[in-house]
């Protein structure tokens, strides 16, 4: 076992333990009211994304002006799939021609992104939480212990990957990532605790809108990951249509998603399982993702299954277990077909498509079961 594998496996195990302990404890607490006057995480996510692309533009201009467009000075330390630059792009050439003191823009290579990556992924997670329930978002990202544990876990994982791909900038990147973690966690706490939004009733319409939001946020993350976080600005020309579609979906689903009638036991069980899963997965999510490729895949898969099982261990889930199981079986079959029919460059894209497909089909299955056997629930059965 390599040092990287051992470190990733240790991080997976530690993150799982912290996530289950802290998440389970947090789920027992009622969601308190927010202070009001907050900024939606979507707004800050858009700002961080803009900074990421600004850095990419300046990086491309720096590489063109100082390195003559040659990226071998950095790519020799990295695996294939990095630094596909936008050769001949007129905007890049314009910025390169007018770049003052171009050598000062050397930190745009690797270091600036090292600071922005953590707030980017945590704000994306917060956006998903808020789309399901503002109260859940307030409770989860308002927890100091949970957010600090997530920031620590993600920073350790990023650091282990950095060390596995070590290069002349690695030590600087590790320090920058540590600073980013120290600053990001309290910012997210303060942001979430001011969320004024109330909780939302479980219902098929709200869950379908959430599935669309989940796909849209995940698609945007994958586009940014490919075109910016891997420094492949040259790929943006081929990926902007799906990014635009994702933005349109996010705009269309921005209205209150729980405005419809409450569902029956099946949709309530699915809603509860989703809330618990998103809470329990916050801390170990990134460790599990990198555990698949850098660590032991069986440990990562086992950790994901353990967390999923814990998410299902709840009275509201058990009350609607039969329609949830039947709908979930149909959802898994549909997810398998969604993965089988398309070949992806990144396995995360297949996973995202499978998750969105499974959620849509499972929701429809639970809604059908609820119509066949209507047993309406009260409005506040969410945890």
Q: Where are the domains of the chain?
A: 3-54+110-372
- Judge contact between 273 and 321, C-beta under 8 A: no
| pLDDT given at position 33 | 66
pLDDT value of position 383: 46
Among 46, 61, 11, which residue's Cα sits nearest to residue 120?
Answer: 46
pLDDT along the chain (383 residues), means of 10: 72 79 76 71 96 97 95 95 91 94 95 97 96 93 95 94 93 97 96 85 88 97 96 94 95 68 82 93 90 75 84 82 92 94 86 95 94 60 44
Q: What is the pLDDT of residue 186?
A: 96
Largest CA distance in the chain: 71
Burial 217-236 (b: 16+ CB within 10 A, else e): bbbbbbbbbbbbbbbbbbbb
The pLDDT value recorded for residue 375 is 59
Distance CA(101)–CA(42), nearest Å, equals: 34
User: How crowded is residue 7: how many other Cβ atoms within 10 Å of its Cβ?
Assistant: 19
Written as six digits, the tokens of 374 are 């209507």
Q: Rounded distance, CA 370 to CA 45, Å? A: 37
Length of the chain: 383
pTM of the model: 0.91
């Amino acid at each position: 076992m390599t040092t990287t594998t051992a470190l990733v496996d240790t991080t997976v195990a530690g993150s799982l333990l912290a996530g289950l302990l802290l998440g389970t404890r947090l789920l027992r607490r009622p969601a308190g009211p927010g202070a009001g006057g907050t900024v939606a995480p979507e707004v800050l996510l858009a700002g961080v994304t803009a900074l990421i692309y600004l850095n990419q533009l300046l990086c491309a201009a720096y590489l063109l002006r100082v390195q003559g467009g040659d990226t071998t000075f950095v790519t020799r330390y990295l695996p294939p799939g990095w630094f596909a630059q936008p050769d001949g792009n007129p905007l890049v050439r314009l910025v390169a021609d007018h770049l003052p003191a171009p050598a000062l823009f050397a930190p745009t290579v690797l270091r600036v992104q090292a600071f922005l990556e953590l707030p980017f992924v945590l704000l994306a997670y917060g956006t998903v939480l808020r789309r399901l329930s503002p109260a859940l978002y307030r409770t989860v990202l308002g927890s100091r212990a949970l957010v600090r544990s997530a920031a620590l876990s993600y920073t350790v994982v990023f650091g282990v990957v950095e060390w596995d791909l070590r290069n002349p900038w690695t030590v600087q990147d590790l320090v920058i990532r540590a600073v980013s973690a120290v600053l990001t966690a309290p910012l997210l706490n303060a942001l979430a605790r001011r969320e004024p939004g109330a909780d939302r009733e479980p219902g098929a319409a709200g869950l379908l809108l959430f599935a669309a939001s989940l796909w849209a946020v995940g698609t945007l993350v994958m586009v940014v990951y490919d075109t910016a976080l891997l420094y492949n600005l040259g790929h943006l020309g081929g990926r902007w249509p799906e990014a635009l579609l994702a933005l349109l979906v996010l705009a269309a689903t921005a209205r209150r998603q729980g405005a419809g009638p409450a569902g029956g036991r099946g949709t309530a069980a699915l809603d509860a399982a989703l809330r618990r899963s998103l809470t329990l997965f916050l801390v170990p999510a990134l460790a599990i993702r990198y555990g698949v490729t850098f660590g032991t895949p069986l440990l990562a898969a086992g950790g994901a299954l353990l967390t999923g099982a814990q998410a299902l261990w709840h009275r509201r889930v058990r009350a609607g277990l039969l329609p949830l199981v039947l709908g979930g079986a149909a959802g898994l079959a549909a997810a398998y077909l969604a993965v089988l029919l398309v070949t992806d460059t990144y396995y995360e894209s297949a996973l995202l498509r499978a998750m969105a497909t499974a959620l849509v089909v499972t929701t429809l299955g639970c809604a059908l079961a609820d119509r066949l056997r209507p047993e309406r629930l009260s409005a506040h059965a969410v945890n």
